[in-house]
Amino acid sequence: FYTLTCILGNCIDCTILTNGGKTTLTNRLVKTIPNCCVVHQDDFFKKPDQIEVGEDGFRQWDGKNGFCVEKPCSNVLFISCTFFRNKSISDSEEGIHILIVEGFLIYNYKPLIDIYDKCFYISIPYEECKRRRSTRTYTLPDPPGLFDGHVWPMYLKHRKEMENNCDRIKYLDGMDIKEGIYNKVYESVQNSLLNNL
């Protein structure tokens, strides 16, 4: 019973870890790949009043302390180990199952890195990322200076940590057309499936 854990991280090539296209790509993959489920890191943000204010003067939404870290880790491990890897159903009955984990800090959790079969990271330039973020409407609007004073520095910090944690990441250019990004990931997933049947 083969499981492909397809990991989608939102990277920014010399940029930031937001608005790179990871959720758009994930949603499309879920619609086109059978037997697929998703764990979204964003579902595990802490409540606003639980987010600490850091030394930079901003609430730490873009760092590890913004999440209930144990919950996404335990969800991914539970789904991957219990449902996929230990389920006693043959491939011919159910087909191959795929778990997509989507988020901007998913390569910064060491307990999960070893179960990833495919790792993708979407990059966009700093200017484009800042532009995209400025056009989004958030429940809690970004305070002035957040992008350059917090989001960008946190991206640089976590990008370095990520590169030290995982050397199997395939980097994708987020400036490519959405169809092109999707085709690259879909083809890579399909090739892995074919090679493991």
Exactly one of 13, 42, 114, 176 is catalytic; which is it?
42
Contact 57, 167 (CB under 8 A): no
Q: List the Cα angle 184/188/189 in 5-degree steps.
A: 120
Q: Give kind and range of the element (H or E) at residue 36.
A: strand 36-40
Residue 42 appears among annotated catalytic residues: yes
Q: What angle do CA 168, 169, 174 make, to 5 degrees?
A: 165
CB 174 within 8 A of CB 122: yes
**Cα separations in angstroms, 12 against 50, 122, 156:** 27, 6, 9
- Residues noted as catalytic: 42
